[in-house]
């Protein structure tokens, strides 16, 4: 009883945030905690409200794209449900990795028997390096582009440079009007910490424009409880562009002098306080503009501003000071 009392008082002490716009949510989950729905024709998506993966039913078997561990055993349940309804095979014959991260593919080993695994060559290298038994390395790899033709269906895989991770690929379904691109845009929602925990920020910022070069109507982003639209991508691009402008303004308008005056003998304290001041100044107008427009803008914008600010300084060299 003591622990539940402690839990209640701790929860009450946590901060409140702006309400999540209804449009950010997707369909209701079933009793097992997932939703499976048709994207178009024989392409389906599965969500638990936070993570997404996709599968294609074909006359030769099922092609699965990603296996998030939070969905885990529900992936095969979803496939079984659809295959039974459509009267097709429920056997997963091919597995495609979007990228190597465990949060999207830590259930890959559930599909281990007689499955052909396909991924980018960097995905293979990273999975061999990290040696996690839940994510067996793909046997079939590609460098730039690869067209899969499985059971009469066409899937276009492309690596267009590093972004969220070094190996993150574009998965285009030209005959299903759909693009799958993971961990770049969370439709209706702000990116989580530091641009969805991305490694290459110029690549991350450029990715949505590449996504829009493809023809598609449906977007599978890998996160949140609903699919995306082209308007969701455009809104995300505006959010990131406004953030970039706001950060540049903060970097040239916050005066670093007082931080170094106060912490003259401890430069790390000065830098820490200056980073905080830049981040707060850059984030404030973005939080103001996007709260109520993009869900959790008030939760996560500050973290993403910090990471984009460091990229603008370190990758782009903006506001860099050369000693005379
Ligand atoms: Zn990732």
Per-residue pLDDT tens over the stretch 246-273: 999 999 999 999 999 999 899 999 999 9
pTM attached to this predicted model: 0.95
Give the separation between CA 204 and CA 239, rounded to whole angstroms: 13
Interval between CA 258 and ligand 1 midpoint (Å): 39
What is the percent of the chain where pLDDT is above 90? 94
Confidence of residue 131 (pLDDT cuts 50, 70, 90): very high
Among residues 244, 187, 25, 199, which one has the least CA distance to residue 101?
199
pLDDT digit string, tens, across residues 223-247: 999 999 999 999 999 999 999 999 9
Interval between CA 183 and ligand 1 midpoint (Å): 6
> For position 5, what pLDDT does the model report?
52
pLDDT digit string, tens, across residues 4-20: 555 567 899 999 999 99
What residue has token string 């424009």?
Answer: 209
Interval between CA 165 and ligand 1 midpoint (Å): 7
Interval between CA 168 and ligand 1 midpoint (Å): 8
> For position 8, what pLDDT does the model report?
61
Interval between CA 100 and ligand 1 midpoint (Å): 7
What is the percent of the chain where pLDDT is above 70? 98
- Report strand pairing: 52-58 vs 178-180: unpaired
The most distant pair of C-alpha atoms in the chain lies apart, rounded to whole Å, by 74
- Report strand pairing: 170-173 vs 145-150: unpaired
Interval between CA 79 and ligand 1 midpoint (Å): 23
Interval between CA 27 and ligand 1 midpoint (Å): 24
Looking at residue 156, the DSSP 8-state letter turns out to be E
Interval between CA 182 and ligand 1 midpoint (Å): 7
Interval between CA 164 and ligand 1 midpoint (Å): 7
Q: Where are the alpha helices (DSSP H) in the chain?
A: 2-13, 74-86, 102-105, 121-130, 193-197, 201-213, 230-253, 257-262, 267-290, 297-314
> For position 137, what pLDDT does the model report?
97
Rounded to 10 degrees, the C-alpha dihedral 167/240/302/193 comes to -20
Interval between CA 59 and ligand 1 midpoint (Å): 31
Residue 108 has pLDDT above 60, yes or no: yes
Interval between CA 263 and ligand 1 midpoint (Å): 38
Interval between CA 91 and ligand 1 midpoint (Å): 26
Are 112 and 92 in contact, with CB atoms under 8 Å apart?
no
Interval between CA 285 and ligand 1 midpoint (Å): 28
Interval between CA 127 and ligand 1 midpoint (Å): 13
Residue 89 has pLDDT above 50, yes or no: yes
pLDDT digit string, tens, across residues 185-204: 999 999 999 999 999 999 99
Interval between CA 167 and ligand 1 midpoint (Å): 10
Stretch 284-301: mean pLDDT: 98
Long-range CB contacts (within 8 A, 24+) of 43-46? 43/173, 43/176, 43/178, 44/78, 44/82, 45/220, 45/227, 46/71, 46/74, 46/75, 46/78
> For position 6, what pLDDT does the model report?
56
Interval between CA 70 and ligand 1 midpoint (Å): 14
Stretch 113-140: mean pLDDT: 97
Residue 107 has pLDDT above 50, yes or no: yes
Stretch 119-139: mean pLDDT: 98
Interval between CA 267 and ligand 1 midpoint (Å): 34
Interval between CA 134 and ligand 1 midpoint (Å): 16
pLDDT digit string, tens, across residues 48-73: 999 999 999 999 999 999 999 999 99
Interval between CA 197 and ligand 1 midpoint (Å): 7
> For position 113, what pLDDT does the model report?
82
Are 299 and 192 in contact, with CB atoms under 8 Å apart?
no
Interval between CA 23 and ligand 1 midpoint (Å): 24
Give the separation between CA 62 and CA 91, rounded to whole angstroms: 6
Confidence of residue 321 (pLDDT cuts 50, 70, 90): confident
Interval between CA 84 and ligand 1 midpoint (Å): 32
Give the separation between CA 64 and CA 1, rounded to whole angstroms: 45
Residue 1 has pLDDT above 70, yes or no: no
> For position 2, what pLDDT does the model report?
45
What is 48-75 written as a DSSP string?
A: SSSBEEEEEEETTEEEEE---TTTTTHH
């Amino acid at each position: 009883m003591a622990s539940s009392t402690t839990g209640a008082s701790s929860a009450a002490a946590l901060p409140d945030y702006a309400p999540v716009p209804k449009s950010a949510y997707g369909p209701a989950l079933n009793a097992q905690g997932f939703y499976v729905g048709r994207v178009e024709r024989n392409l389906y998506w599965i969500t638990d409200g936070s993570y997404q993966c996709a599968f294609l039913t074909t006359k030769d078997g099922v092609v699965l794209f990603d296996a998030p561990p939070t969905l885990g055993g529900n992936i095969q349940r979803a496939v079984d449900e659809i295959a039974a309804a459509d009267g097709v095979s429920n056997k997963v014959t091919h597995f495609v990795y979007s990228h190597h991260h465990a949060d999207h593919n830590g259930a890959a080993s559930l599909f281990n028997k007689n499955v052909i695994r396909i991924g980018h060559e960097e995905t293979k290298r990273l999975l061999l390096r990290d040696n996690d038994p839940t994510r067996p390395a793909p046997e079939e790899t590609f460098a730039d582009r690869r067209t899969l033709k499985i059971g009469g269906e066409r899937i276009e895989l492309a690596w267009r440079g590093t972004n969220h991770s070094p190996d993150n690929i574009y998965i285009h379904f030209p005959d299903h009007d759909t693009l799958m691109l993971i961990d770049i845009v969370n439709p209706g929602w702000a990116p989580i910490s530091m641009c969805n925990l991305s490694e290459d920020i110029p690549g991350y910022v450029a990715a949505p424009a590449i996504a829009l070069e493809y023809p598609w109507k449906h977007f599978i982003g890998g996160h949140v409880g609903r699919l995306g639209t082209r308007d969701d991508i455009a809104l995300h691009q505006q959010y990131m562009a406004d953030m970039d402008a706001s950060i540049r303004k903060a970097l040239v308008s916050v005066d670093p002098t007082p931080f170094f005056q106060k912490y003259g003998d401890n430069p790390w304290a000065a830098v820490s306080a200056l980073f905080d001041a830049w981040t707060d100044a850059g984030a404030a107008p973005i939080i103001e503009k996007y709260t109520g427009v993009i869900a959790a803008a008030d939760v996560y914008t500050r973290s993403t501003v910090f990471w984009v600010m460091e990229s603008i300084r370190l990758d782009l060299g903006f506001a860099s000071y050369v000693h005379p």
